[in-house]
Amino acid sequence: MKGSVVTDTATLVSPVAPRALGVRRPLAVPAVRITPSARLGAWQARNAAATIPHCIGQLEEAGNLDNFRRVIGESDAQWRGFWFADSDVYKTIEAVAWEIARTGTHAFDSWLDDVIALVGRVQEADGYVMTWIQGVHPEKKFAELDWTHEMYVLGHLVQAAVALDRAAGRGDLLDIAVRFVDLVDRTFGPGADQVGYCGHPELETALVELYRHTGEDRFLALARHQIDHRGSGLLKVGGLGARYFQDHATVRESRAAVGHAVRQLYLNAGVTDLVLEGGDDELLDAMRDQWDSAHHRKMYLTGAFGSRHRDEAFGDDYELPSDRAYAETCATIADLHWNWRMYLAEGGSRYGDVIERELYNALAASLDETGTRFFYSNPLQLRPDRYSEENAPRERTPWYACACCPPNIARVFAQLGAYVASVDGDALALHQYTGVEVDLPVELGGGAVTVHTSYPDDGRVEISGPAGVKLRLRIPAWAAGATIDGAAVSPAADGYAEVVLGGGTLVLDLPLGARWTSPNHRIDAVRGCLALERGPVVYCVEEADLPEGVQLADTLVDPTRTPGEADGALEIGLITRTPDGVLYGPISTSTTGEAVAVRAIPFHTWGNRASGAMRVWLPSA
């Protein structure tokens, strides 16, 4: 971060708009237009047509908006949902804001008018607005920061307000958010009589973005104040322990991803935002260690996080059970946000590699083909007799009592363009390959770069733009044998290949052959298993694709058989075994039954047919 310059980025219509700009700079969401026919573009279109309207409808049906009305006597309905249910309203507003930025739509204007006016009527004179406290437990106001989520809710309010002002020039929600932030600053900020930080990190990254948007240093100072004090042991941690809240050590001392996965990853995003603005080398070093811990020892193959149901938490190193994976959707989204900030802080293809893994696997699997049914938990195996749990059902559901994930999905799909490309010094860096048109900023000569591709179904990526434009192309770690215009690629140490457009079309070819992946031998849960990948896409086998009478639990994969491609699936060989009813017995190497050809499907498409067994990791013969 040395040598950065301070720039006014308040008008940059992007989720992350650093003021202290180093080499890498985000692009505005409207400047990155993903082709509707591309995989990511189709998902964005579905999000706009189905997911966002569905979330709006569910906020009414589930009572989130009635909770606001109840506080001011406009509804006599009983309180419904979790105490932090207000945050789902704000995440949905943010999703609408990024959809406005993306398309310029006015379809949601009247809804925004009504909801923002409602929030304004509920806000108290001192700036406070959280309906569960106001309408159910006023005695808890700022009294139980470990559990009340007041600052977490405020964080989502701030992010929605900043997004709406950037996307639509609409500042009414921003005024509400700033008044609440001012109250927190007076109560817990630098110079206040007491120190306080939230049991659920999220406000930190929102405060940094509010500073970026307004230029007011006090918001950055408040974020730094909260981050510097975390680990002071101020939270009443109870039976879950301080690690659950990331309150066991200071941020600078904490070098392993622990506790509640979403909280840790949101906290890391906020810390990295602070690094981007302050150039704190010690904090950045802590984030590097945290990243290694989360991604080299605790990440699922699909880009999911959290191995324990009880506390929605990271487990020990290599504790990655497939069937009991909690793998919360919000954790993947939080990690996507963190990886983008880490890329902006120091560069490197590993961050884009992880975002790609998350986009095409864990995140894509979190909702069904209609865009209106969701997974909260994303296991890598479904046993045929596994019971449903509230947040880990056998099938996707339209909503949850704790509905943090659906509106989170909606907001991240609306802002996908923000993670496709960036300005890296004197070059345009492409991080995600999809059909897209990217407007070049003035400093890169203006005009546009266009990408034509059906990636990840096909590895051919055609890129055209003005002659003389320098490109930096991420070469995925799995893409050995990649070529540019037929010549072998030798990426730099950071994993990017640098080329200059000649005025014609450049062709990047990424080899997409199917490959078998083996787990680290320390992952006890899947030792002796293999997983199938093709490019960035993880595959699985569903019982729906097995021959009649064959159960997935009675099969071994034959890795010597080369997978064949067929209609978006891969054909693999499974060897069946006949169960003998003995729970434990002597060593046996024999199998019975015949080898059968079976379709393996992309993991993100599973669960769209009949509910049945599924596996990513397959025992190997």
| 449: three-class secondary structure by DSSP | strand
**pLDDT 10s digits, 447-457:** 999 999 999 99
Non-local (6+) Cβ contacts of 589 within 8 A are none
Query: In the predicted model, is pLDDT for residue 6 greater than 50?
Result: no
Burial of residue 215, with CB atoms counted within 10 A of its CB: 0-12 exposed, 13-18 middle, 19 or more buried: middle
Residue 237 has what pLDDT? 87
Query: In the predicted model, is pLDDT for residue 587 greater than 90?
Result: no
Residue 568 has what pLDDT? 83
Query: In the predicted model, is pLDDT for residue 10 greater than 70?
Result: no
**pLDDT 10s digits, 12-66:** 999 999 999 778 999 999 999 999 999 999 999 999 999 999 999 999 999 999 9
Q: What is the mean pLDDT of residues 142-171?
A: 97
Query: In the predicted model, is pLDDT for residue 8 greater than 50?
Result: no
What share of the chain has pLDDT > 70, as a percent?
Answer: 97
Q: What is the mean pLDDT of residues 82-104?
A: 98
Q: What is the mean pLDDT of residues 592-613?
A: 87
- 4 pLDDT tier (thresholds 50, 70, 90): very low
User: Any idea which residue has 């190497």 for tokens?
Assistant: 589
Tell me the pLDDT of the chain averaged across its residues. 94
User: Any idea which residue has 């997004």 for tokens?
Assistant: 163
Residue 391 has what pLDDT? 73
Cis peptide before 456 (omega within 30 of 0): yes
CB 463 within 8 A of CB 508: yes
Residue 506 has what pLDDT? 97
Residue 3 has what pLDDT? 31
**pLDDT 10s digits, 354-401:** 999 999 999 999 999 999 999 999 999 999 877 667 777 788 999 999
The lowest-confidence range among 4-18, 84-98, 570-584 is 4-18
**pLDDT 10s digits, 267-297:** 999 999 999 999 899 999 999 999 999 999 9
Query: In the predicted model, is pLDDT for residue 7 greater than 60?
Result: no
Residue 38 has what pLDDT? 97
| 58: three-class secondary structure by DSSP | helix
What share of the chain has pLDDT > 90, as a percent?
Answer: 88
Residue 210 or residue 585, greater confidence: 210
Query: In the predicted model, is pLDDT for residue 589 greater than 70?
Result: no
Residue 387 has what pLDDT? 65
Query: CA 451 to CA 457: how far, in whole Å?
Result: 15
Q: What is the mean pLDDT of residues 422-432?
A: 97
**pLDDT 10s digits, 465-481:** 999 999 999 999 999 99
Q: What is the mean pLDDT of residues 129-158?
A: 97
- Which domains are assigned to the chain? 27-236+245-419 (1.50.10.10), 423-509 (2.60.420), 514-619 (no CATH)
Q: What is the mean pLDDT of residues 196-219?
A: 97
Query: In the predicted model, is pLDDT for residue 592 greater than 60?
Result: no
- 576 pLDDT tier (thresholds 50, 70, 90): confident
Residue 577 has what pLDDT? 83
The DSSP bridge partners found for residue 556 are 575
Region of residue 81 (left: phi > 0; alpha: psi -120 to 50; beta: else): left
Residue 325 has what pLDDT? 95
Q: Which whole-number Å values give the CA distances from 142 to 150, 194, 219, 254, 538, in the listed order?
A: 7, 11, 19, 26, 44
**pLDDT 10s digits, 291-309:** 999 999 999 999 999 999 9
**pLDDT 10s digits, 518-568:** 999 999 999 999 999 999 999 999 999 999 888 999 999 999 888 998 888
**pLDDT 10s digits, 211-226:** 999 999 999 999 999 9
CB 58 within 8 A of CB 399: yes
- 591 pLDDT tier (thresholds 50, 70, 90): low
